[in-house]
Amino acid sequence: MTSSTSPEQLQQLLDIASEAALDGGAVLSSYWGKLAGQVEEKGRSGDLVTVADRSAEEAVIQVLGRHCPDIGIVAEESGLLGNQDGDLVWAIDPLDGTTNFAHQYPFSAVSIGLLWRDEPVLGVVYDPFHKDLFRAAKGLGATRNRQSIQVSSTPTLAKSLLVTGFAYDRRETTDNNYAEFCYLTHMTQGVRRGGSASMDLAYVACGRLDGYWERGLSVWDIAAGIVLVQEAGGNVTAYDGGPVDVSSGRLLATNGHLHEPLQDALAHVPPLDTWAKDPSTWPKLDA
C-alpha cells in the first residue's frame, strides 16, 4: 500500500468489504434452490450466469459505492465501473462457483478484493452456506469468523491434499490442466476440484488444503484469495515462482513448504498421452 494509507484506513476498507460480502451472501441465500429456468450461458459452454449472480453483484456494488464512491470497480457481471484511474480498484465476483450454485452444490462464495496498482492488498471471501467469513489485509493478518488463521505445516507433496480447477475453454485447448491433475493426483494424497477459486484459496489460507494451482482465472476470482493466503503465512506466485500477475490467469499458492516441490512438479508434467500402459514408468512418491 501507499505510505499515506494507514492501518486504520485499511481496516476501515476491510470492514466495508465485509459488509458488502455479507449483503451479497444474503442475496445468494435467498435464491438458493430457486433457479429453475433462470440459468444462462455467457457465450462459452459451461460459463454460467444466473439472476443470483446479478442480484448479489448489485447488493455488493451498492455498499461499496455508498462508502467508497471514489474507488473504481471491476466486477464479473457489470465490468468496469466508476473511477478506473485511481490507485485503488475493487475486484468483485458476486458468486464464485456459479455452476455449483446452479446445481445446488453448496460450495460457492462472494469474493471481494482490493487492488492497489494491480497488487491485491485486501480480500474478503464469504461462504453463505457454512457462514464462513474469511478476511485479510496487508499487514493485518488473516481470519475466519474473526479468529486468526494460518496455512498448514504439511512438509511434502506425498503427504499433501491439493486443489485445482479447469478453465471454461478446456474442451477447446490442450492447455487445460488435465495432465497436471493426473500427475499430481498420483504424487499426493489427493487433488480436489472445488469449483470456486476464492474458496480454494481461502481453504489453503486456513490449512484445510495445502496447495492450489490453476489457469484461466480472472482478477475477480483471485484478488481476495491471494491476500488471504499471504497474510496466513503462505506463498503465492506465478507458476515459475515469479510475482503474480493478476491479469495472467494463472497462479500457484501453497503453505510455503510445498512451493518449490509443486512448482517443480508443474514444470515437469509428462504429456497426458504418455500415461497409462506401464505403471513402472509413473513418477515415484516422495517419502
Domain ranges in the chain are 7-148, 157-281
pLDDT score of 173 more than 70? no
- Per-residue confidence (pLDDT) for residue 198, from 0 to 100: 98
Which of the four pLDDT bands, split at 50, 70 and 90, describes residue 201?
very high
CATH number of 157-281: 3.40.190.80
- The superfamily (CATH) of domain 7-148 is Fructose-1,6-Bisphosphatase, subunit A, domain 1 (3.30.540.10)
Give the Cα separation of 262 and 185 in Å (integer): 12
pTM summary value? 0.92
For range 132-151, the mean pLDDT: 98
Domains 7-148 and 157-281 alike in fold: no
pLDDT score of 217 more than 50? yes
Residue with grid cell 451498492, as numbered in its chain: 62
Phi and psi dihedrals of 47, rounded to 5?
-90, 95
Mean pLDDT computed over every residue of the chain: 90
What the block records as the C-alpha cell of 134 is 474469511
pLDDT score of 252 more than 70? yes
Which of the four pLDDT bands, split at 50, 70 and 90, describes residue 276?
low
pLDDT score of 1 more than 50? no
